């Protein structure tokens, strides 16, 4: 049989079918001509396949070769709905997404029969419970953000909406998130795309995120504008100001919104011309050194009338973060807060290499920042936020144990307003209207319904956190410590997080104690005056820190020619 089948068999079959249906249409019934038209369309498709130069499969297998591209196109949906395991993380498992949907819709979020997790697998984690569980009357856990130089401190929920810009999100999505935040008395981070009318309509509290494009506070050249900043920062809705140094999903990468996507609404929010390319530079122009960064923090705090000001970052070279810490000591200028964004954080669009292989994951990054502040004696003066794949109460508990004062979630709240993880955010064709500017698509997202879901997800997740704390014998998230969380490691061993992420003693870095390799190696490399290291990491690891940094070829050539 196989020898009678060729790569053109399907093409020959539709030709034969067309002729057969034409005969039937002429002899038996004219309705057969409809079948002939359909098969004739496939004949035309086959001819196009043979003639087109781009797809070898279609040239070699006309008609039937198109099935390969059809199945490839619908593969994500087939996998998600039919073949994906409940615990497969891609990037969020169906189990995790279902948890958010259930809490947002206020349906049953309990499970019967037993865990689906492999409790003996590597990296399985759990919270150690107490023989004397506690009782928590109010799960609206809050902290106060605002240091000694802040005159308008903020009472902040420990669970808030992470940075997502209008433009990346639809207007209806922003409306639903902000209205939900107002209903639940928590805050909504604007993302670096500026403060739009959608952020203000329902009066939800805002963290104004300012990135390298200074959207909403820029002049005509794209530089920071004091006048525009004061205009926006003086709004009652703006409770905190966050300088974005880097984003977990694509640290060290700028961006550009093509002019075709810069609508009049987006242009108004960002302070840029409509219809022109909108660029987010790789780095800030308002500061270039750690000291200048802190001076910018102090400047924004003064211009805002004393509101809390901090910065958000994903950890890269450790000496750059240490340089900021040393600048705090040298200038005595402190941010009111720092948000640590993990490499597992989400984004609307980023190169695959950046999403997969750039930046430090949240757990290691958060612990490093916490321990550094402890080591220089400033931890009690600066609040820490954590963001990066946090959606459940246990995710929050782990972050609190590693040093966070509060947690932010972006994709969790996206799920609450209907996101199905289609992963087409960058195409403008979001099936649920969350990440599109198409009026018809976003019209499917009903603000009055989704805002209730946002508030419900927040409230029920905090209730679940309260139950975890009760089981552990605690009364507030700030009591969680690394020893409360255990993890199974290789070869069946078990370690509490305090063994995997040891604590520093208060002020020990100031005393020159470097018990951990990362501090012993990178702390001496850092300088408050520059993000550049004093010497190379290779020199530090070789035990010869006096070695100068090698010059780049271009720099060496300039030196020699001079």
pLDDT at 464 > cutoff 60? yes
Query: Residue 557's pLDDT band (boundaries 50, 70, 90)?
Result: very low
Query: Residue 89's pLDDT band (boundaries 50, 70, 90)?
Result: low
pLDDT at 538 > cutoff 90? no
Sequential DSSP letters for 426-486: GGT--TTSSS---HHHHTTS-HHHHHHHHHHHHHHHHHHHHHHHHHTT-SSGGG--GGGEE
**Cβ-contact 154, 146 below 8 angstroms:** yes
Burial of 275 (0-12, 13-18, 19+ CB in 10 A): middle
> Beta partners for 409?
161
pLDDT at 553 > cutoff 50? no
**Cβ-contact 479, 471 below 8 angstroms:** no
Report the range out of 86-90, 95-99, 316-320 with the highest average pLDDT: 316-320
Strands 142-145, 154-157: pairing is antiparallel
The rounded distance, in Å, linking the Cα atoms of 123 and 295 is 41
pLDDT tens, position by position, 329-364: 999 999 999 999 998 888 777 778 888 888 899 999
Kind and range of the H or E element at 159?
Answer: strand 159-161
Query: Taking the mean position of all CA atoms in its chain, how far away is CA 435?
Result: 14
pLDDT tens, position by position, 498-508: 999 999 999 99
- Find, among 308, 292, 299, the residue nearest to 144 by Cα: 308
The values of phi and psi at residue 273, to 5°, are: -70, 140
The residue written with tokens 């980023």 in the block is 350
pLDDT at 104 > cutoff 60? yes
Of 87-91, 503-507, 510-514, 537-541, which gets the smallest average pLDDT?
Answer: 87-91
Given this model, what pLDDT does residue 4 score? 53
Query: Taking the mean position of all CA atoms in its chain, how far away is CA 423?
Result: 13
Q: How is residue 250 written in tokens?
A: 């694509």
**How much of the chain, in percent, has pLDDT values that exceed 90?**
68
pLDDT at 546 > cutoff 70? no
């Amino acid at each position: 049989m196989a020898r009678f089948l060729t790569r053109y068999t399907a093409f020959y079959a539709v030709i034969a079918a067309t002729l057969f249906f034409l005969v039937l249409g002429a002899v038996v019934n004219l309705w057969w001509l409809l079948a002939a038209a359909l098969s004739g369309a496939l004949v035309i498709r086959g001819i196009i396949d043979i003639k087109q130069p781009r797809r070898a499969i279609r040239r070699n297998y006309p008609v039937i070769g198109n099935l390969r591209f059809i199945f490839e196109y619908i593969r994500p949906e087939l996998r998600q709905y039919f073949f994906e395991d409940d615990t497969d993380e891609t990037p969020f498992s169906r189990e995790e997404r279902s948890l958010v949907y259930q809490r947002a819709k206020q349906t049953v979020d309990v499970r019967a029969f037993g865990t689906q997790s492999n409790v003996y697998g590597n990296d399985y984690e759990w919270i150690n419970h107490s023989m004397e569980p506690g009782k928590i009357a109010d799960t609206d856990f809050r902290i106060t953000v605002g240091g000694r130089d802040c005159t308008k401190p903020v009472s902040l929920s420990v669970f808030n909406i992470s940075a997502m810009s209008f433009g990346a999100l639809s207007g209806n999505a922003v409306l639903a998130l902000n209205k939900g935040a107002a209903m639940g008395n928590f805050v909504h981070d604007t993302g670096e795309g500026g403060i739009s009318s959608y952020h203000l309509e329902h009066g939800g509290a805002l963290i104004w995120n300012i990135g390298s494009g200074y959207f909403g506070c820029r002049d005509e050249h794209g530089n920071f504008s004091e006048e525009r900043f004061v205009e926006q920062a003086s709004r009652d809705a703006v409770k905190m100001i966050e300088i974005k140094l880097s984003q977990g999903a694509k640290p060290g990468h700028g961006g550009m919104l093509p002019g075709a996507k810069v609508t009049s609404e987006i242009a108004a929010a960002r302070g840029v011309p409509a219809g022109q390319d909108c660029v987010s530079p790789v780095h800030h122009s308002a500061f270039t050194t750690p000291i200048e960064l802190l001076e910018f923090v102090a400047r924004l705090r003064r211009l805002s009338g004393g509101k809390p000001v901090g910065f958000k970052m994903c950890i890269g070279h450790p000496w750059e973060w240490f340089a900021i810490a040393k600048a705090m000591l040298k200038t005595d200028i402190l941010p009111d807060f720092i948000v640590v964004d993990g490499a597992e954080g989400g984004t609307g669009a980023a190169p695959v290499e950046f999403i997969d292989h750039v930046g430090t994951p949240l757990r290691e990054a958060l612990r490093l920042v916490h321990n550094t502040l402890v080591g220089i004696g400033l931890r009690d003066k600066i609040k820490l936020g954590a963001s990066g794949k946090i959606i459940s109460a246990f995710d929050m508990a782990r972050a609190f144990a590693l040093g966070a004062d509060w947690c932010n979630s972006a994709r969790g709240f996206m799920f609450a307003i209907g996101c199905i993880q289609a992963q087409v955010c960058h195409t403008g064709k979001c099936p649920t209207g969350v990440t599109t500017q198409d009026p018809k698509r976003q019209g499917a997202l009903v603000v009055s319904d989704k805002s209730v879901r946002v508030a419900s997800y927040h409230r029920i997740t905090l209730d679940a956190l309260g139950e975890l704390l009760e089981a552990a014998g605690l009364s507030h998230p700030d009591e969680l410590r690394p020893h409360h969380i255990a993890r199974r490691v290789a070869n069946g061993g078990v370690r509490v997080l305090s063994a995997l992420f040891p604590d520093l003693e208060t002020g020990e870095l100031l005393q020159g104690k470097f018990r951990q390799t990362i501090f012993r190696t990178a702390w001496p490399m850092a300088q408050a005056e520059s993000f550049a290291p004093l010497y190379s990491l290779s020199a530090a690891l070789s035990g010869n820190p006096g070695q100068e940094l090698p010059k780049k070829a271009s720099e060496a050539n300039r030196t020699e020619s001079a």
